[in-house]
Amino acid sequence: MAIGFDYGTANCSVAHLVESSVEQIPLVGENCYISSTLCAPTAETVSEYLFRCLGIRPANEVGEAVLRRAIKMNREEGIEVDTGDVLFGEQALNLYLEDPKDVYYIKSPKSFLGGMGLRDVQLSFFEDLVCAMMSNVKRQAECHLGETVTQTVIGRPVNFLGRGGEASNLQAEGILRRAANRAGFKDVEFQFEPVAAGLEFESTLTEDKNVLVVDIGGGTTDCSYIQMGPSWVGKADRQASLIAHTGQLVGGNDLDIYIAFRRFMHAFGMGTKRHNGLDIPVTQFWNPIAINDVQAQRKFYAHDNLKELTMLTKEALEPEKVVRLAKLHKETLGYAIIREAEKAKIALEESNDYRAMLDLFSEQVGIEVSAADMAVAIDNPTKKIQALVKEAAQQAGTQPDAIFMTGGSARSTVLRAAVQQVLPDIPVVAGNYFGSVTAGLARWADVCYR
């Protein structure tokens, strides 16, 4: 049996085709979406969990070395890995929020894929994270369907990171493929996420059109200019219909990060000075919330950096603020700060004002955020998204008949207006913001494996 698998930055979802209709498959109760999050007692638990609890072996010698090291470290810590030690989705988030300091928590590991300059052992560990999440989704889907799923089409962005070019994309796709194979998928194909969303939109058309698909997901924004309609439906060779593609690592995570950076981090001392008149380094405020940057996270949460933060607190003119930064480090609160920024982003789609509450355990910090504040805060990622839309239209050389916007962040009125500003005379349409990619992947899976 074949399914479409949207291994997303924010959420994962799967679907299959039943008599020409797409059916999404529940993964958590009746919910068809599971947050792309994972929680475990330690990072090493994940690798041993795959081997000991699921019978999934590493794909190569590097993976075997990572597993041996994980087993050794878990034994030294007195950790006996059990099936219930690794949690996913909302369960993982809730456990992290209860006690951030004493658990390993990760959100959106897809954001790390394609990173250049990483060691083989780091890449192998990312593969274990992806494999654990894919295996969980596969098992939940099979439980609902009552049959084994062995074939899948996985969505991928046009560019995972961009900085490493095609080498970056090949590295990321390789991790996804190996993880999927290890999770039990025998046949794995890939499709660009905006193309998949376009295939779903195409199923609603009664005439051929040129459509610019703008997919603003949790981690990336991807644009595909596609010729689509009844003439193309069901064709296995779509190459002639795919006119242009652009993509970059800018999406919902970036919106959350910029909201947190521009609106929240002043409460932690950003913009204040030391007694000698020097500013506190801005990287100390960016790194803890840059959840899609492995190196930034490592630098901030390094043990030596706590000494630096303690020194900065003593030197600060407003130490009561900077001490919160040290608290953020000690309690590993970066993800919790981003979670509150995400809640602000969502709330401000329905209201002009939102009062964010940052829970630092020892105190609650309230920060007012307006819709106008948010628009200013996300100006940088907004301009990047506009540039991608403009580039795709320029590559195509013709104006599209319609712009199809999809992805969770495409709900943003700020971003929709920004896209419309680039192509002011083109109608903007939308479908299922969260499900279009998944549905299109299911349709493509039916074509690939029929």
**DSSP structural state of residue 184:** T
Same domain? 224 vs 333: no
Task: Report d(CA 83, CA 173) in Å as an integer.
Answer: 28
User: Is 303 a domain residue?
Assistant: yes
pLDDT digits (tens, 9 = 90+) for 86-135: 999 999 999 999 988 889 999 999 998 998 888 999 999 999 999 999 99
- What pLDDT score was predicted for residue 163? 63
Domain that holds residue 221: 207-251+380-430
Same domain? 259 vs 270: yes
Final residue in a domain of this structure, among 349, 377, 405: 377
Q: Which residues of 229-240 are buried (b: 16+ CB within 10 A; e: fewer)?
A: beebeeeeebee
Same domain? 281 vs 364: yes
Task: Report d(CA 34, CA 319) in Å as an integer.
Answer: 40
User: Is 282 a domain residue?
Assistant: yes
User: Is 167 a domain residue?
Assistant: no
> With left for phi above 0 and alpha for psi between -120 and 50, is residue 29 left, alpha or beta?
left
What contacts 363, CB < 8 A, 6 or more positions away? none
Same domain? 384 vs 279: no
Rounded to an integer, the average pLDDT of 394-423 is 96
Strand 151-156 to strand 187-192: parallel, antiparallel, or no bridges (unpaired)?
Answer: parallel
**Where does the pLDDT of residue 268 fall: very low under 50, low under 70, confident under 90, or very high at 90 and above?**
very high
Task: Report d(CA 109, CA 130) in Å as an integer.
Answer: 7
pLDDT digits (tens, 9 = 90+) for 50-100: 999 999 999 999 999 999 999 999 999 999 999 999 999 999 999 999 988
Same domain? 289 vs 237: no
**CATH number for position 416:** 3.30.420.40
Same domain? 240 vs 272: no
Final residue in a domain of this structure, among 52, 77, 100: 100
- What pLDDT score was predicted for residue 294? 84
Interaxial angle between packed helices 120-145 and 43-54, expressed in degrees from 0 to 180 and rounded to the nearest 10: 50
Same domain? 259 vs 243: no
Same domain? 372 vs 386: no
User: Is 295 a domain residue?
Assistant: yes
User: Is 220 a domain residue?
Assistant: yes
Task: Report d(CA 224, CA 48) in Å as an integer.
Answer: 40
Give the burial class of 301: count Cβ atoms within 10 A of its Cβ; 0-12 exposed, 13-18 middle, 19 or more buried. Answer: middle
- What pLDDT score was predicted for residue 161? 79
User: Is 59 a domain residue?
Assistant: yes
pLDDT digits (tens, 9 = 90+) for 37-50: 999 999 999 999 99
Rg (CA), the chain: 22
Rounded to an integer, the average pLDDT of 373-390 is 97
Q: Is the pTM of this model over 0.85?
A: yes
- What pLDDT score was predicted for residue 162? 62
Task: Report d(CA 112, CA 2) in Å as an integer.
Answer: 27
Task: Report d(CA 350, CA 201) in Å as an integer.
Answer: 26
Residue of 42, 96, 107 whose CA lies nearest to 70 = 42
User: Is 69 a domain residue?
Assistant: yes
Q: Which of 157-166, 294-303, 339-348 has the lowest mean pLDDT?
A: 157-166
Final residue in a domain of this structure, among 76, 100, 124: 100
Same domain? 341 vs 386: no
Same domain? 279 vs 368: yes
Give me the half-sphere count of Cα atoms (radius 13 Å) on the Cβ side of residue 404: 28
- What pLDDT score was predicted for residue 450? 85
Same domain? 278 vs 325: yes
Q: Which residues of 178-206 are buried (b: 16+ CB within 10 A; e: fewer)?
A: bbbebbbbeebbbbbbbbbbbbbbbbebe
Same domain? 261 vs 348: yes
Question: For the chain, what is the mean pLDDT?
Answer: 95
In the chain, the number of structural domains is: 3
Residue of 56, 45, 181, 164 whose CA lies nearest to 114 = 164
User: Is 154 a domain residue?
Assistant: no
pLDDT digits (tens, 9 = 90+) for 404-417: 999 999 999 999 99
Q: Which two tokens stand for residue 50?
A: 């795959």
pLDDT digits (tens, 9 = 90+) for 285-334: 999 999 988 889 999 999 999 999 999 999 999 999 999 999 999 999 99
Task: Report d(CA 14, CA 330) in Å as an integer.
Answer: 37
Residue 433, pLDDT > 80, answer yes
